[in-house]
Structure 1
Amino acid sequence: MAQKYAALSYCWGLQLPHLKAEASTLSKLREGVSWYDLPKTLSDAVALAAKIGCRWIWIDSMCIVQDDKQDWATEAAKMSTVYQHALVTVIANSASCCNEGFIDKPRKPSVRLGEVSSTEQGKSVEVYGRVLYDWGYHRGGPQSHMIQYTKWRDPVDYRGWTLQESVLSTRYLCFTSGEVQFRCQERKACECGQHLYGRLHNTTDPKELWFETVEEYARRRLTRQSDITVAFKGIQHMTAAKIREENMTCVSMIWLQPKLTSFSASSLLWFRNSREDPAYFPKGLPCPSYSWTSVNGSFIHSIPRQLQNLKFPTRCLGLDVEDTKGKELDGTSIRLLGPLYPATLAIPEPAKPRPGTNYLGIERVELLTALRFHSSFCYIDGPMKRIPISEEMGGGFTLARAEFSNLEESETARYSNKIEETPVFVLLVMIGGEDERSGEGLVLARSAESRDEYQRLGFVTLTNYEPHFPRTPMQEVRIS
């Protein structure tokens, strides 16, 4: 688009826009829409765009035909480009819906601290202080301890789609609940003038930025969980352009290469943390188990900044796709070759309610490897089920992910879910530390239908008694 235009990043809210592009409204929209007929958030954005000299503004609800699946798929794939090429993105951060507006919302830049008496003139002076908020790119500052992390989140900060809209924008005006913020490729500015503490916006390392952005994205929510890949695709493309490592491929949002490095190994080694909110596996979601896109919930990555002498015994042999040329590599299985340790996994007691919440805590997981280690900590990705293996496949039992339609169903099942000791495997991905005593890997379960196919169940850290890990045969596994 040759013309200068603005773009809007906002929340639709539960009350959907009464004016949106649909097959039945296209002709009316083409005739023109009165500014007074627009929802308040949209009319605020149009007025602001006009004031800064933009004749055009891109608004998703009016520029994508919402009831046309083909048009939606085509335009959704290009949305990242829309925000990259906009003259400015207007972020209605503080508006929870399209009818709320954001320009005239009251903000409290200062608070009254008290009065100071003046003995010379017999008068008192009111003293006010500037409020230091951690909204927007101040989040991560001295006021936003992790326990209060959600305190400094505006409505837009909970939406999955809006993350790449701000990250990819060359410049934006963000209307937070505390102040207006500006960011471009050269500088950041705000009304309060405090230092910029937010890590997400300060790092220049594309690999570090990837992990921090992915973890921020996982804390957000999507109306349709099937959008989890497309709503992050623009950030993937941006990262691919900045990373310069040989034979690097991103498949289902996991970075892989034949010989793993710290970056690609950490990409595989994501895990659920006990401090995070509960997660579940959405039913029917076509995402492979090795990818975080298969989980609805937050997580973190294992980034071995402190470990020395890192080694990566596992290699990536390839992807199970017929033709990767010109195609997005999503939903495929990967083939890895590495040390595979037999183990058993059990959950002796169901998860217990977490104090002060409506959700359950993390289950106590017992993971025992055939080779004894000094310690091991296992983090499972979500609820599991124990299923029988047919006699033709050797008999016995294995584990598989338990899929549900929503979090409430998943939590109900977890409340009574106990898992007896069941065979699993540990694939050692990374070794490090003094005398190579520490290791990290994936917990895998063999498929009940195929001897060669595995499913990821979780993440494990291992510490060995003796220097160097015990040798075990290298085995090929296909994870889907």
Structure 2
Amino acid sequence: MLDLFKSLLPKKERQWCGACLFELNPTAKSLSSDIGGRYEYAFAESDDHEFSYADLIKSSKRGCDRCKALASAFESFGAAGFEVARWEPHLNSPGSPLLEITSADGTSQVFEICSSEAPLDRPVFFADDPSPHVVLCRGYKLSRTTGDNEALDQAAKWLTECRTSHGECRVSDAEFVPNRLLYLGDSRTDSNILELVEKPAPVPYAALSHRWTKETPSKSLLTSNFLDRKQNGMPIAYLPRMMQDVVLVLRRLGIEYIWIDCLCIIQDDKDDWKREAALMASIYTNAELTVAASWCDQSDQSLFRDHSMPQEISVDVAQIDGQSIFIRRRKHHFTWLGIESSADTMAAENPDIEWPLLNRGWVYQEQLLSRRMLHFTQNELIWECFEETRCECGWYDTNTRIFGARDWYKRSPATKSWSQVIKGYAKRPLTVTTDRLPALAGIGKAIASAKDYDPAEYLCGFWEKELEETFFWYLSEPPLHPRPDMRMPTWSWASVSGDVECWQVSLEGIEFLGNDVQYSGDPLLGDVVSGMVSLSGHVASGIVYHGREWKSISESQKDASGTSSILTDSRATEDYGLQIGGQFATFNPDYKLDVPGKGFVPSGSQVLCLLFGRTTSSEWDESGESAETITTHLLLLRHVDGAPLRYERIGVNATCFELDVFMSQSERQQLTLV
């Protein structure tokens, strides 16, 4: 009877704090900002829910224990006193739930409310029963350092799971082994010597992906120390600190051999270097594991990093139904799709700081070719293989559910188009500019094998069978350097430095007539003797300007109101100009062609403008009538002295000149680009 009587009494409506969005404890006083019913009502009018630090303190004083815990956490993070905070469940946009706070100076920081028990199958927002918090995601607390037992046990677990259950990650050539390996000793020994083993029997081995520092050359394998290391080995204590740590990791994982480029290739022997560089595809493809020193870029830097400072560690804010809830800074992550697409609202992300290794030219092919990679980052260990991407903090668990896991996992290089490879690789810096093609040779070899391409059809960074999709490339940023002094034809993207993209729309009247590229060795290694491509297309004469002459022209093209009649290329810098007939436009050079030296082009020089594409756009007037405009994409070519009908490439002009106007001044012509 008592139970019946209780059931007839009106139930008290659940109250949710208007600041922290946790359920309000019964002893706390109510505020007008609190939410009745379900916490979703906080998002009834917006995709996010805002509160200030002052709101948090006010709610703490009225008795909300969760607000008090959050305020204490923000003090630990050094983020107290923020101006506005936004809970964002990301229901209508990609990304996992988060809390973004903005300070008075406009700087933003991103946090997450996490629980190891949060569901992965759907956002908690859609749960039938209210979750402990609306903006909750699956997450795990990190170990204090990336080199402690907890972190290395996790790495061992990932490796074991991959070996036993991932069919796609198994080695493709069990008989392959590099020409040299370093023997670390088995897990039962504590040897302080690395043995240099030549022509080893097929054994499981690891590879190291690392960024060379000023210290690396002094430790490298050279002709002068080769015999001594072959006979006596190399003291582990003589290695850079990072490599000593790698030895520790691999012994812990039970891998007894490792290949390290600077210690397994004789660096001052050109023949040895070329021979071993040609094996890069096989070395990384068949490695049992590639260890990536992803955050290391300084001499004597450890592979491991302690991240137990108060502003970096997780802070508990609630214990609800046995479920621990904590808040932490969101860590940066990368995906197979690319670093730039990895961290939704984290616009302040700087890959050069977070992962200096991953932006290097040589490392690009190491990433693409390796079946398994274990990344040591500033904050945690990250695992990549063909069937999983994992991290210690659990961010990938949540986000692969949201985005679709398969798009985020590693893929073989053959799954990328060559234009994607060029775009991903070209922007990455190299210490030695002549490594531009050698550092891509491993990917080239893998793609040649997968697509049955003949290496003889490799044309200075292009595949002949994909020439139409890649040949008309352009810098997607203003040039920063003069033309590099290396023997590379100007029509190759490898002849310049910077972010490169390829025109991938139908070509306009272009016909490739043939090519002739001569190498002194392996075509994929790019030791070019000469290279030319012949084609035909519509061309018109033009003049290029820069410096004072271009500034004077720019001023003369302004009317009384200051409006300029110069046509603007959206990709171009204002420092260079092109004239065709009576019209002037900006253009984007392939390099800083106004710098004296190799490739210098005097202002006022005659050029040939080759039409290779078109862009169609429409504009509507006030009456609703539309007008269609078709503009040209032009390759700018300069005549090579003493060579009839031979031209070198110097830049691109896009979406400026109307197609009909250009065609009225053009003629079809056969050209040879060198």
- Shorter-chain TM-score tier: 0.7 to 0.9
Higher mean Cα deviation, 196-205 or 169-178? 196-205
**Distance apart, 1:318 and its partner CA:** 1.3
Alpha-carbon distance in structure 2 between the residues aligned to 1:54 and 1:109:
35
User: Is contact 1:135–1:152 with CA below 8 Å preserved after alignment?
Assistant: no
Tell me if 1:16 matches 2:210: no
Letter in 1 for 2:430: L
Between stretches 21-30 and 439-448, larger displacement belongs to: 21-30
- Is 1:269 the counterpart of 2:467? The answer is no
| Aligned ranges 1:20-59 → 2 under 5 Å | 20-30=220-230, 31-59=232-260
Alignment CA distance shift 1:46-1:17 (3 Å)? farther
Alpha-carbon distance in structure 2 between the residues aligned to 1:248 and 1:75 = 20
Deviations 1:388-444 (A, max 9, x none): xxxxxxxxxxx9823xxxxxxxxxxxxxx9x53221011112235478923323110
TM-fit CA distance, 1:34? 3.4
Aligned to 1:227: 435
- Is the partner of 1:401 in helix, strand or coil? coil
Aligned-partner Cα distance in 2 for 1:231–1:327: 13
Question: Aligned in 2, Cα 1:184/1:110: closer, same or farther, shift over 3 Å?
Answer: farther
TM-aligned CA distance change 1:347 to 1:243, over 3 Å: farther
Q: Are the counterparts in 1 of residues 243 and 303 from structure 2 also a CA contact under 8 Å?
A: no
Aligned-partner residue type, residue 182 of structure 1: W
Q: Which residue of 1 aligns with 2:330?
A: 131
**TM-score with structure 1 setting the length:** 0.76
Tell me the SS of whatever aligns to 2:275.
helix
Question: Are residues 1:437 and 2:630 paired?
Answer: yes
Query: Is structure 2 residue 567 aligned with structure 1 residue 421?
Result: no
Which residue identity does 2:424 align to in structure 1? Answer: E
After superposition, residues 80-479 of structure 1 pair within 5 angstroms as: 80-97=281-298, 99-106=300-307, 111=312, 127-129=326-328, 131-135=330-334, 139=339, 140-143=341-344, 148-150=349-351, 153-194=354-395, 195=399, 209-242=417-450, 249-257=457-465, 264-274=467-477, 278-283=480-485, 285-304=486-505, 310-321=506-517, 327-328=523-524, 330=528, 331-349=530-548, 362-370=573-581, 378-384=587-593, 401-402=599-600, 419-431=602-614, 433=616, 437-462=630-655, 465=658, 470=663, 472-479=666-673
Distance apart, 1:111 and its partner CA: 4.2
Q: Post-superposition shift, 1:235?
A: 1.6
Shift of the 277–183 alpha-carbon distance from structure 1 to 2, 3 Å rule, reads farther
SS in 2 for 1:232: helix
Asked if structure 2 preserves the Cα contact closer than 8 Å seen for 1:219 and 1:298, the reply is yes
CA contact (8 A) 1:337 1:476 kept: yes
Distance in 2 (CA, whole Å) between partners of 1:322 and 1:41 is: 41
> 2:543·2:578 contact (CA, 8 Å) conserved in 1?
yes
Residues 19 and 38 in structure 1, CA contact (< 8 A), matched pair in contact too = yes
Q: Flag the 1:467–1:339 CA change in 2: closer, same or farther, 3 A.
A: closer
Structure 2 equivalent of residue 65 of structure 1: 266
Q: How many aligned positions are there?
A: 426
Structure 1, residues 80-101: CA drift from partner, whole Å, max 9, x if none? 3211111111111111146322
Q: Give me the whole-angstrom Cα distance separating, in 2, the residues matched to 1:239 and 1:145.
A: 34
Q: Which whole-Å deviations, capped at 9, do the CAs of 1:144-195 have from their partners, x for residues lacking one?
A: 7677544554221242211111111111111122321111122222223332
Contact 1:134/1:144 (8 A) holds in 2? no
Residues 400 and 455, structure 1, Cα contact 8 Å, conserved in 2: no
Q: Secondary structure at the match of 1:21?
A: coil
Of Structure 1 and Structure 2, which has the larger fraction of its residues in helix? 2
Once residues 437 and 424 of structure 1 are traced to their aligned partners in structure 2, the CA distance between those partners, rounded to angstroms, is 23
Amino acid at match of 2:483: F
CA distance in 1, matches of 2:391, 2:210: 20
Structure 2 Cα separation of the partners of residues 78 and 455 of structure 1: 33
CA distance in 1, matches of 2:439, 2:508: 31
Query: Which of structures 1 and 2 has the larger relative contact order (alpha carbons within 8 angstroms, sep 6+)?
Result: 1
Distance in 2 (alpha carbons) for counterparts of 1:115 and 1:172: 32
CA distance 1:466–1:475, change in 2 (3 Å): closer
Q: Distance in 1 between matches of 2:410 and 2:216?
A: 35
Q: Is the 8 A contact 2:305 2:378 kept in 1?
A: no
Distance 1:248 1:441 in 2: 29
**Counterpart residue identity of residue 93, structure 1:** S
8 Å Cα contact 1:154-1:176 kept in structure 2: yes
TM-score, structure 2 normalization:
0.55
CA RMSD of aligned residues (A): 4.0
Query: How far did residue 468 of structure 1 move?
Result: 9.6
Within 2, Cα distance between the matches of 1:314 and 1:422?
Answer: 25
Does the Cα contact within 8 Å between 1:203 and 1:209 map onto a contact in 2? Answer: no
- Consecutive unaligned residues of structure 2, counting only runs of 5 or more, are 1-176, 178-201, 552-571, 618-627
- State the Cα deviation string for residues 370-401 of structure 1 (Å, max 9, x = none): 4x78x9552111122599xxxxxxxxxxx982
1:210 deviates by 3.5
Residue number in structure 1 paired with 2:276: 75
Contact 2:482–2:595 under 8 Å retained in 1: no
Alpha-carbon contact 1:269-1:459 (below 8 Å) kept: no
Aligned residues of 1:134 and 1:152 also touching (Cα < 8 A): no
Q: CA deviation at 1:102?
A: 0.8
Is this contact kept in 1: 2:242–2:301, CA < 8 A? yes
How far has the Cα of 1:6 moved from its partner?
A: 0.5
* Alignment-mate amino acid for residue 166 of structure 1: Q
- The separation in 1 between residues aligned to 2:521 and 2:440, in whole angstroms, is 21
Distance 1:290 1:146 in 2: 35
Cα distance in 2 between the residues matched to 1:256 and 1:16:
38
CA shift, 1:107, in A, is: 6.9
SS at match of 2:219: coil
8 A contact 1:277–1:298 mirrored in 2: no
Can you list the C-alpha shifts for 1:20-43, whole angstroms capped at 9, x where unaligned? 312222233222233333322112
CA distance in 2, matches of 1:114, 1:147: 23
- For the residues of structure 1 that align with 2:437 and 2:455, how far apart are their CA atoms? 22
SS of 1:336's equivalent in the other structure is: strand
**Equivalent residue, structure 2, for 1:390:** none
Q: Give ranges in structure 1 of 5+ residues lacking alignment.
A: 119-124, 258-262, 305-309, 353-360, 388-398, 403-416
Alpha-carbon spacing, 1:77–1:466, altered in 2? closer, same or farther (3 Å): closer
Three-state SS of the structure 2 residue aligned to 1:333 is: strand
The 1:424–1:107 alpha-carbon spacing in structure 2 relative to 1, beyond 3 Å, is: farther
Provide the secondary structure at the position in 2 that maps to 1:103: coil
Whether the aligned pair in 1 keeps the contact of 2:637 and 2:650 (CA below 8 Å) is yes
Once the two structures are aligned, what percentage of the paired residues are identical? Answer: 23
**Residue-by-residue CA offset, 1:218-243 (whole Å, 9 max, x unaligned):** 33222211111101111222334455
Q: For residues 383 and 277 of structure 1, do their structure 2 counterparts lie closer, same or farther at Cα, with a shift above 3 Å needed?
A: closer
* Alpha-carbon distance in structure 1 between the residues aligned to 2:371 and 2:263: 22
